[in-house]
Chains A and B, each alone.
Chain A
Amino acid sequence: MSAVLRNPPLPPMQESPGLWALAWRRMRQDTVGMVSLVIVAIFLAMMAGSYTGLIAKDWNKEKGVSYANPAFLAGAENLEARSMAAKDATAKAPPVDLSDIDPLAPRYKEWEERAARIAVTETKRAEVLPFGGDKWGRDVLQKAIKGSQISIFVGLSAALLATFIGTMLGAAAGYWGGWANDVLEWVYNVFTSIPYILLILAFAAVATATGKFGKGIVPIVLILSLTGWTGIYRLMRAEYIKHSNREYVKAAQAIGASNWSRMFIHILPNVSHVALVQLSQHVVGFIKAEVILSFLGFGVPVDMVSWGTMLAEAQNELVIGKWWQLFAAGASMAILVTAFSLLTDSMRDALDPKLK
């Protein structure tokens, strides 16, 4: 008995670090993959930088005039800003006297004195911003950077959560089979039978109506992940079915490994590459889905900015010739998503060379 125990029953355990090292070696030879990795890394660094406030800290400051021109179009006519400057200063009637009914009337004098002591400074607004301004006069470039932070964060955390849900449920269904499988397959069928848009709207409606999904970007992350886990579940379930009958799992069972440890210590590392590819595919999917949510009005809170809210805001700006916000958000999203997709491709190729 003890002899059996001391015998290392782990050829598959060794395969797993080998798999990753091998994959990394293959990946390094893939130029496109490496370039994508660098771009994604830059975006992640940007995200960290803007999160910590190193960059784009004052994206919310209104530094320029409304729709300030981008630097490369410095001289162009800006009708919007001009019409705003031309405020008519018509003489108004003297303000109506409220003192006989105003609950604040007893302290009018004190109020006036205090107000006089508070200085209000008006900042001068720039005519030109590096990549143009939005309608409030905020720097579009900084907005796009800050928007990247939120969008990538939303995409990443929703994908992580969805992968977690999908993996857990997939593992349960695939490993246990039986009634656990039946129940989970039922849930899966229900979720996939409802059109995605209705499912999203339903969860969004619940999130806004009850406020139970929390505040800030938490509701969006929950909406996306609670509706988006099904594909991952299906794949992970298939992987678990395949692996639970493999010899190494049987061997682990023989040495008395618990179900729990077989599921997550033995099998999981061997299927995690599938989860990883799914994770990164879903990051991209969720970043795109966030745009649609924003378009429908379920975007991030008003004191934040994401690519989705920028695009929703910019949807009328192309027609009036203020294309830069649409471009800044659209292009930075396209660059990241492209890099991420290509990275996912080379990751998949590296992890599973059979596919190539």
Chain B
Amino acid sequence: MTAYVLRRLWQIIPTIAGVILLIFFLFNWVGGDPAMVLAGKISNPEQIANIRRQLGIDEPYWYQLWVFVKQVFTFDFGRSWSTNEEVSRILITRVGPTLTIMIPVLIITTSLAVVFSIMVAYVRGTLTDRMIMIVCTVAMSVSFLVYIIVFQWLFGFILGWFPVQGWSESFGKNLGYYAPLPIMLAVFVGLAPELRLYRSFFLDEINQDYVRTARAKGVPEKSVMLKHVLRNAMIPILTNVGIALPGIFVGSFLLEVFFSIPGLGREIITAVNRSDFPVIKAVTVYLAVITMFINLLVDVMYKVVDPRVSFK
């Protein structure tokens, strides 16, 4: 076990190196020149050169890459090129709002999906089951952009149940007042695919021998579902949640843009538009590290939950 964890930790290094290389290549090498954005309306080539020198983008590529690597190891990405704000501060202040939306989304979606999918699995093969599955498929097929536009207009404006947009400094007000509509939207969009997926997990289990055995022994269907099937289906479900977990740190930029939520997703878009490389670098590395650690954690938990899983 320890050896496994150590080996996995060791593997993080080449992956981070790859992430660094790829992001560096895509943004720094072929991406836009931030000096132009910063130079203002009128500037001469000499001033542009001065900006480039200050940002360090006139250095040879290998040197810039070396700076990037150093930044990753010291976890100090310096300051944003466009606003001079400390990059670490940007990350810290933006994660909160993103999580305020995404953690409830994850919890609500997962619990609703589990409850509904076990209900659907219970009536598998009936018309109800088929209808619900088709409704889910239809719900999944509409573009997220359309949902946002229509829901914001309908619930925020026409019905007036929620504020159209906004964010405050108080966590309570955010969660209770501003977040519900975006959360509802994300749940609505996320529920259908999860429901379909979890249903298939339950069906997988229902067809297993142990279930047949239990039934043969006369265990009532309800307790078969809740005791045996649910427990075993939780493993793929948890894996699935584990896979989704890193995503909650990115959030949805569409939600954040339309509902004025100062989260990370929106920050990524702004940073890319402004060619704000320090921010892009930091966000990427930070999310890559989170992703890898969460994946490791999930695998380890997997082992703890299900001793049958072997580590290779």
Contacts and interface: CB of A to CB of B under 8 A. Distances in A.
Chains A and B in contact, CB within 8 Å: yes
A147 to B, nearest CB: 12
Interface stretch (A1-9, A77-85, A105-113, A189-197): A189-197
A342 B143 contact: no
A202 B26 contact: yes
B130 A295 contact: no
Contacts of A203: 26
Nearest to A192: B291
Interface in A308-356: 311-312, 315, 318-319, 326, 330, 333-338, 341-342, 345, 354-356
A57 interface: no
A98 interface: no
**Across the A-B interface, the 4 shortest Cβ-Cβ residue pairs:** A190-B18, A337-B141, A193-B288, A202-B26
A286 to B, nearest CB: 13
Interface string A141-163: 00000000000000000000000
Contact of A209 (B32, B157, B280, B284): B32
Interface residue tally of chain A, by bracket? 35 or more
A330 B16 CA distance: 39
A205 interface: yes
Interface of A: 32, 186-187, 189-198, 201-203, 205-206, 209-210, 284, 288, 291-292, 295-296, 307, 311-312, 315, 318-319, 326, 330, 333-338, 341-342, 345, 354-356
27 contacts: A32-B130, A189-B18, A190-B19, A191-B22, A193-B16, A194-B23, A195-B250, A195-B283, A196-B250, A197-B253, A197-B268, A202-B23, A202-B272, A205-B26, A206-B31, A307-B143, A311-B143, A318-B150, A319-B157, A330-B142, A330-B146, A333-B141, A333-B143, A335-B141, A338-B137, A338-B141, A345-B137
A197 B265 contact: yes
Interface of B: 11, 14-16, 18-19, 21-23, 26-27, 30-32, 130, 133-134, 137-138, 140-146, 149-150, 153, 157, 200, 203-204, 207, 246-247, 250, 253-254, 265, 268-269, 272, 280, 283-284, 287-288, 291-292
The majority secondary structure among interface residues of chain B is: helix
A187 B134 contact: no
A315 B141 contact: no
Nearest to A205: B31
Most buried by B among A191, A202, A203, A326: A202
A233 to B, nearest CB: 15
A203 B19 CA distance: 14
Nearest to B203: A356
Contacts of A338: 134, 137-138, 140-141
Nearest to B147: A330
Given A190-B19, A201-B269, A288 B143 contact: yes
Most buried by B among A194, A203, A307, A334: A194
Nearest to B204: A355
Given A189-B15, A197-B268, 19 more contacts: A186-B14, A186-B18, A187-B18, A193-B19, A193-B287, A194-B19, A196-B250, A197-B265, A198-B268, A198-B283, A209-B31, A210-B30, A291-B144, A291-B145, A292-B254, A333-B142, A334-B141, A337-B141, A338-B141
